[in-house]
Amino acid sequence: MAQKFIRPRHDQTVMPIRHVTTLTAGLKEIDPVMLLYMITAIAQVPHLLTSEMRYAHGINAMRKKAKFLTGPRPLPALARLHSRA
């Protein structure tokens, strides 16, 4: 499966990544395949952390434009500190 579906797509994607790494300081030392996996992981993080983003920051990351649901919400411990002040 990896050789039939994943590898051919990666071969197409790695070429432009390799080109960008030659033009960008700091990326020359990173293997293009590793960089592809880093970019893929970064792109998946908001989906994986949707519940945490909603609870901690009031952001609905699953909308086309992520918006605050009711505005940023402080963490419960911080809310208690603010209410004492």
Render pLDDT for 14-73 as a digit per residue (tens, 0 to 9). Answer: 999 999 998 988 888 999 999 999 999 998 888 888 888 888 888 887 776 655 555 555
**What is the predicted pLDDT for the residue at 85?**
46
Cβ(68)–Cβ(59) under 8 Å?
Answer: yes
**Joined tokens for residue 83:** 């209410």
Q: What value, to the nearest 5°, has the Cα angle with vertex 20 and ends 32 and 4?
A: 40
Q: How far is CA 79 from CA 44, 58, 68, 71, in A?
A: 30, 14, 18, 14
Q: How confident is the model at residue 76 (pLDDT cuts 50, 70, 90)?
A: low
The answer to whether the Cα torsion of 61, 63, 64, 69 is positive or negative is negative
The helix (H) or strand (E) run that includes residue 23 is helix 7-23
User: Does the structure show a pLDDT above 70 at 2?
Assistant: yes
